[in-house]
Chain A
Amino acid sequence: MNTMTASPEMARLRNACLAIAALGVVAAFAAVIFVPQRSVATLSLLITGAVVGSLLVVQILPSAQRHQGDAATIPLSYAMSIVVAGAFRPLVAALCIAMIATLTTLARDRIGVAQPMRTLLRESAVGLGCIGTYQFAFNAFGGQEHLSVVLTALALTVASAVVLDAVCRSDWAFALVQTERGQRAWVAIGSSGMLMAVAERGVGGSGHMGIWGPMLFGIPLFAAWYSFERLDAIGRTHRQTIEALAMAPEFAGLVATGHAARVAELSCTMAARLGFSKPAIDTLETAALLHHLGSVTLDDPSLSGNPQPPTTVAHVTADMLRSIEALAPAGEVVARAGSRRSFTFLDARGHSAALVLQCANIYDESRHELRLDHDAAMQQVRDAARTVDERERSVIDALEFATSGMA
C-alpha cells in the first residue's frame, strides 16, 4: 500500500510490539510445557495482547489541539480489559490487570513513551472497574449462561470503562467522549472487546474459541487503529504544509514576520466567540493562514516601485485555493475579504467569516506594520468596517474580546 505507512516512529513502535509479542509467545509455550492448566498459556497471550494494546493508542484530538503527554489518547488495551473481565474469575482477572499495568510500565519505559502515574492509575482503574461491573451485572441478571445475559453484562462493562476513563481524567473529563473521534474509538474498542470476550469464553458451552477468538477478532480493531493513525499523520502533514506555505510571503518580506499565524489565531478566537461551527473555524483558519499567499506570484513592489493592490493579492490567492476542491471554501473567504463585500458571505449562523478575517488582518497590520497601540488599531478596524450593522458590531466585539490581553 503506497501510503506513509512506516515512519521511523511507526517502525520503532512496530519493533517494540513484535518484541513483546515474541516474548508473550515464548511465555505461553513455557506455560504449556510447565503448567498443567491451559488457561495459564491463554492468560500469557492475553496479557501480551494487552501490553501491545497499551502501546497502540487512538489519538482523540487533532495534533494542533493536543496537550503534552497522553491526556488525549485511548489505548486499545481497554478491549483486552473487557476480555479479561468477561472471561476469567475476578481474582485471576485482577491479577491479570496488575500484571498488565506492571509490564506496560516496563514496555513504555523501554521505548521511551512518557507515562505519568495518573495514566497508569487510570488504566488500572478502568481494568478493575471492568471486572467489578461485569461480575455485578452478570450476577444481577441471574448469572445464567445465556447470550443475552452475557452480552448485556459486557455492554455495561464497556459503559463503565467509558465512565471510569472519563472520571479519571482530571483535565478532560467527558470532553473526549463528546468528540466524534472519541466516540468512534470507544465504539470500536467496546464492540471488539465484547466480541473477543464472547469468543474467548463461549456462552453455555457454545462458541468457545479460546485464545484464537481474541487473536482473530482483534484484526478489525487493529485495522481501525491503523486507519486512525494514518488519518492523524496525513492531517498533521497537511496542516504543517499549509503553515509552511503561509511563511512564504513573510520570507519574501511582503508581510511582517508571524502575521499569518497571528491573524489565524485571532480569527479562530473570534470565530469561536461568535459561535462558528468547527468546520467553519477550520476553513477560516486555512483562509487566514494563506490569505497573502498570492502576493509571492506578483511582481515584487520593492523592485517595481508599485505596491501590490490588496484586492489583486486576495483574488490571486483565492484563485489558487479555489483550484483545490477541499480548499475552495477558504478561497471564497479570502476572495470576499479582499473584495470589501464580506457581509455577503455568511455561514449557517449568519456570521461573516470574511469580515472576521478582514478585521483580524487590519488589526494585526495596524499593530505590527503601522506600530499602533491597541486602541488605535481597534479604531482602524472600526473605520474600515464602518460599523452600521449589528452583525459587524458583533464581529468587532469578538475582536475586542480576542485582543483583550494585548491592550
Chain B
Amino acid sequence: MSEFPARLRPYTFAISAVAGIAMLAALLFERSEPSWTAVVVLGALAIVAEHQRVRLPSGLVLSPGFIVATAAIYVFHASGALLGPLVVGALMGVNVRHLRSGSRGWLAFNAANFALGTGAAAVAFSAMPDSVIFRLPIGIVAAVPAAIAVVVVESFLVALSYWVEQRRPLRNALEELSPAFIQALPFSLVGIFLGRIYLDLGWPMVALLVVPVLLARGVLASYFELRATHEATIRVLVRALESKDAYTAGHAERVATYSQYIGQELGFLPWRLERLRSAALMHDIGKLVVPNQLLNKPGKLTPEEFAIVRNHEAVSVAMLSHIDFLRPVAPIAGGDHSTYDAALDDTHHAIEPYIVAVADAYDAMTSTRSYRRALTQEVAFAELRDKAGTQFHPRCVEALVHAIQRREERHGAGYETRAPSFAVAPPVTGLGSAGLGDLADGLEPA
C-alpha cells in the first residue's frame, strides 16, 4: 500500500467524523446496548476476514468480510442495532500492515468507510419487520436491501475518494466498482444465516463456517500465484522468440491484443478469451526451432530453406496440441487452417484460427518489416476488407475494424511505438503479408 495521499486527509477526517458522530449518537440514544461478547467475536472475525481479501486479475476484490458485516447486522438487530454493526464495521478497517507501518491515514479511511457501509446496511435492515426477518425463506429476501446498502455506500465512498484525490469522474469510478455487486448477494445470504446460527447456538458454529472460507481463499490465492507464473512463462517464451527475430518485436503481444478485441466483439466468454489470448501469444512458437541464420537471412530463401522455415507451423501446432487447454485451437498456428473457406464456415469449426489470421495480417501490415515500411491503418483496413470472404473471415475482419475504431486507436505508418531499425531502409511499397512476408517471393510453399 502506498503512502497516504495528502489530498485525502480532509476527506478522511470528514468521513471519520461522520462515523464517530453516528457511533456516539447510537451509544447515547439507542435503547439497548449490543452484546459486547458478540462485538468481540464478530469484530475479531471481521479483522481476520478482511486480511483474507483476494485481488482478482480483473481488479475486483473478493472479501469474506462482507459475510461478517451482514452477520453483525442480524446479530445486533434486536439489541444495539446501529452501534453493534458500526463497531464491527470499524474493526474491519484494522489492518496489521497499516498498524506496522504506522499508516494512520489508511486505518482511519478504511475504518470509517466500512463502518458507514455496515451502518447503512443496519438502517436498511432495521426497516424490515421482525415477522419477515426471522422467517425462512422470506428472511433471505429481507437481507437483500441491506446487502445493496452496504455495497452502494462503500462503493460511493471509495468513488468519492477517487474524485477527491485524482479528480476522476464519479461515474467512471462507480462503473469500475460495480462488479462488487456480484459478490454481495451470495455473501450477504451466508452472513444472515451465520448471524442467525450464532444467535441460536453460539461461536463454535462460526468457527465451522470460517474453516472452509479460509481454505477456499488460500487455494484461490495459490491459483492466482500459479496463474501469474504461467503467464510469466509464456511472456519469457515470447521474448525468446523475439530475440531470434528482432524484426517482429512486440508482434505476438499485439496479435494477442487484436485477437482479444475480435473475441470481445464476437461475445466470447472470459474462459474462451483467455484461451484465445494464450494461443495468439504462442501462434509462432514453432519459430523457436527455425535456425537464427534463416530467420535473419538478408535476401531470398532457397526452396530448401523455405521448407525448413515453413515447417515452424507444423511444430507450432504440435507444441500447442500438447497443452490440453489449447488443443482445440491449435490449428491457429497452421497457415492452411486459418485461410477462410466459406464452405467450412459452420459451427463445427472453431473460429479462433480465423481470428488470429486477421490479427496477424493486420499487425504485419501496420508494422515495419525488413521488406516494407508500415502501411497506414486505412490501407490495412481496406486490404482486410478486400480479402474478406476469400482469405479472411468476414465477421472477424469487421469485428477488428469496429473494435479499433470504437477504441479510437491508431496503428501503422506514423503511429508505430517501437519501429525497428534496419541497416537498409525498407521500401515504402508492397502490401506483404503476415509471417514470412515476401522473403519467399516467387516460391511455391512446400
Does chain B have a CB within 8 A of A4? yes
Q: Which of A327-361 contact B (CB under 8 A)?
A: 327
Name the distance in Å between B71's Cβ and chain A's nearest Cβ. 12
Q: Which of B262-296 contact A (CB under 8 A)?
A: 269-271, 273-275, 285-286, 288-294
Report if B181 contacts A (CB, 8 A). no
Residues of B within 8 A of A224 (CB): 212, 215-216, 219
Chain A residues lying within 8 Å of B56, measured Cβ to Cβ, are: 1-3
| Docked-complex contact A212 and B137, CB < 8 angstroms | yes
Complex Cα distance A174/B75, Å? 42
A240 touches B137 (CB 8 A): no
- List chain B positions with a Cβ less than 8 A from chain A: 56-58, 60, 136-137, 140, 186, 189-190, 193, 196-197, 200-202, 204-205, 208-209, 211-213, 215-220, 222-223, 225-227, 229-230, 232-234, 236-237, 239-240, 243-244, 269-271, 273-275, 285-286, 288-294, 315, 318-320, 322-325, 328
- Let me know if A132 is at the binding interface, CB within 8 A: no
What is the distance, in angstroms, from A278's C-beta to the closest C-beta of chain B?
15
**Interface residue? A374 (CB, 8 A):** no
Is B211 a contact of A188 with CB atoms below 8 Å?
Answer: yes
Sample 27 A-B pairs with CB under 8 A, ordered by A number: A1-B270, A3-B270, A3-B271, A4-B274, A6-B271, A147-B204, A184-B215, A187-B215, A202-B200, A209-B196, A213-B193, A216-B190, A219-B189, A219-B190, A223-B213, A224-B215, A227-B223, A236-B325, A237-B324, A240-B324, A248-B285, A251-B315, A252-B291, A296-B240, A297-B243, A303-B294, A326-B229
A215-253 interface code vs B (CB 8 A; 1 in, 0 out): 011011101101110110111111011111101100110
Cβ contact of B190, chosen from A217, A238, A241, cutoff 8 A: A217
Alpha-carbon gap, A282 to B244, bound state (A): 29
| Chain-B contact segment, one of A89-97, A191-199, A377-385, A391-399 | A191-199
Asked if A7 is an interface residue, CB under 8 A from chain B, the answer is yes
| Cα–Cα distance between A389 and B14 once the two chains are bound (Å) | 71
Other A-B pairs beyond A251-B289, A324-B229, 10, CB < 8 Å:
A1-B60, A184-B219, A194-B208, A217-B193, A220-B212, A226-B216, A240-B324, A297-B240, A298-B292, A323-B232
| Known pairs A220-B216, A234-B223, A241-B323; A1 contacts B205 (CB<8 A) | no
A277 CB–B CB distance under 8 Å:
no
Separation of A184 and B220 alpha carbons in the complex (Å): 13
Contact present for A242 and B137 (CB under 8 Å): no
Main secondary structure of the interface of B (DSSP, over half): helix
Distance in angstroms between the alpha carbons of A338 and B293 in the assembled complex: 25
* Cα separation A206 to B134 with both chains bound (whole Å): 13
Q: Scoring A residues 251 to 290 as 1 if CB is less than 8 Å from chain B, else 0, what string do you get? A: 1100000000000000000000000000000000000000
Chain B residues positioned under 8 Å from A188 (CB to CB):
211-212, 215-216
Do the beta carbons of B318 and A199 come within 8 Å of each other? no
A208 to chain B, nearest CB (A): 8
CA distance A206 to B227 in the complex (A): 45
The answer to whether B219 and A5 touch across the interface, beta carbons within 8 angstroms, is: no
Identify which of B213, B222, B325 contacts A237 (C-beta below 8 A).
B325
Residue in B190, B273, B324 whose beta carbon sits within 8 Å of that of A236 in the complex: B324
Q: Kindly state whether residue A207 has any CB partner on chain B within 8 Å.
A: yes
Does A304 reach chain B (CB closer than 8 Å)?
Answer: yes
List the B residue with the shortest CB-CB distance to A197. B208
Task: Let me know if A323 and B229 touch, CB within 8 A.
Answer: no
Determine whether the beta carbon of B186 is less than 8 Å from that of A235.
no
Bound CA–CA A299/B242 (angstroms): 14
A-side residues, CB < 8 A to B, are 1-8, 147, 151, 184, 187-188, 191-192, 194-195, 198-199, 202-203, 206-207, 209-210, 212-213, 216-217, 219-221, 223-224, 226-228, 230-231, 233-238, 240-245, 247-248, 251-252, 293, 296-300, 302-304, 320-321, 323-327
Q: Are A231 and B216 in contact (CB under 8 A)?
A: no
Of A2, A209, A244, the residue contacting B270 (CB under 8 A) is A2
Report yes or no: B292 in contact with A299, Cβ–Cβ below 8 A: yes
Q: How many angstroms from the CA of A210 to the CA of B140 in the assembled complex? A: 14
Distance between Cα atoms of A28 and B218 in the complex (Å)? 36
User: Cβ of B136 and Cβ of A209 under 8 Å apart?
Assistant: yes
- Residues in B with CB closer than 8 Å to A2 are 56-58, 270, 273-274
Cβ contact of B233, chosen from A199, A238, A251, cutoff 8 A? A238
Q: How far is the CA of A224 from the CA of B216 in the complex (A)?
A: 4
> Residue among B211, B222, B294, B328 with the most chain A CB within 10 A?
B211
Among B243, B294, B320, point to the contact of A244 (Cβ < 8 A).
B320
Task: Give Cα A298–Cα B288 distance, bound, in whole angstroms.
Answer: 10
Point out the residues of chain B lying under 8 angstroms from A297, CB to CB.
240, 243-244, 288, 292
A contact face: mostly helix, strand, loop, or mixed: helix
B325 contacts A244, C-beta separation under 8 Å: no
What are the residues of chain A within 8 A of B190 when measuring CB–CB?
216-217, 219-220
Q: Determine which of B226, B233, B286, B320 lies in contact with A235 in the assembled complex, contact meaning CB atoms within 8 Å.
A: B226
CA distance A57 to B97 in the complex (A): 37
* Nearest 7 CB-CB pairings of A with B: A300-B291, A207-B200, A227-B219, A252-B289, A326-B229, A224-B216, A220-B212
Given A147-B202, A234-B223, A300-B293, A248 contacting B229 (CB threshold 8 A): no
Also in contact, A240 and B322, with CB within 8 A (given A2-B270, A223-B213, A227-B219): yes
Q: Which residue of A lies closest to B56 (CB)?
A: A1
A287 CB, nearest partner CB in chain B, Å: 14
Chain B residue nearest in CB terms to A243: B322
Selected contact of A206 from candidates B200, B229, B244, B274, CB within 8 Å: B200
Question: Which residues of the partner chain A approach B271 to less than 8 Å between Cβ atoms?
Answer: 3-7
Q: Which of A195, A233, A240, A323 is most buried by chain B, counting CB atoms within 10 A of its CB?
A: A195
Pair A207/B291 contact, Cβ less than 8 Å: no
Q: How far is the CA of A192 from the CA of B225 in the complex (A)?
A: 26
A241 adjacent to B234 (CB under 8 Å): yes
The answer on a CB contact under 8 Å between B220 and A4 is no
CB-CB < 8 A to B243: which residues of A?
297
Q: State the CA gap A286–B102 with chains docked (Å).
A: 42
Question: A240 near B244 (CB under 8 angstroms)?
Answer: no
A198 → B minimal CB distance (Å): 6
Q: CB-nearest residue of chain B relative to A298?
A: B292
Query: With a CB–CB cut-off of 8 A, which chain A residues contact B286?
Result: 251
Q: What's the Cα separation between A212 and B134 when bound, in Å?
A: 13
> A327 contacts which chain B residues (CB < 8 A)?
229, 232-233
Asked if A6 meets B269 with Cβ closer than 8 Å, knowing A1-B56, A297-B243, the reply is yes
A1-B291 CB under 8 A given contacts A207-B201, A217-B190: no
- Minimum CB–CB distance from A223 to chain B (whole Å) comes to 4
Q: With the chains together, A235 CA to B225 CA distance in Å?
A: 11
Neighbouring B residues of A1 by C-beta, 8 Å: 56, 58, 60, 270
Which of chain B's residues has its CB closest to A232's CB?
A: B223
**In whole angstroms, what is the CA distance A227 to B290 when docked?**
40
User: How far apart sit A157 and B243, CA to CA, in the bound complex (Å)?
Assistant: 60
* Contact, CB under 8 Å: B209 / A217: yes
A192 to chain B, nearest CB (A): 5
Taken together as a complex, chains A and B put the C-alpha atoms of A198 and B28 apart, in Å, by 38
User: Contact at A219–B186, with CB atoms within 8 Å?
Assistant: yes
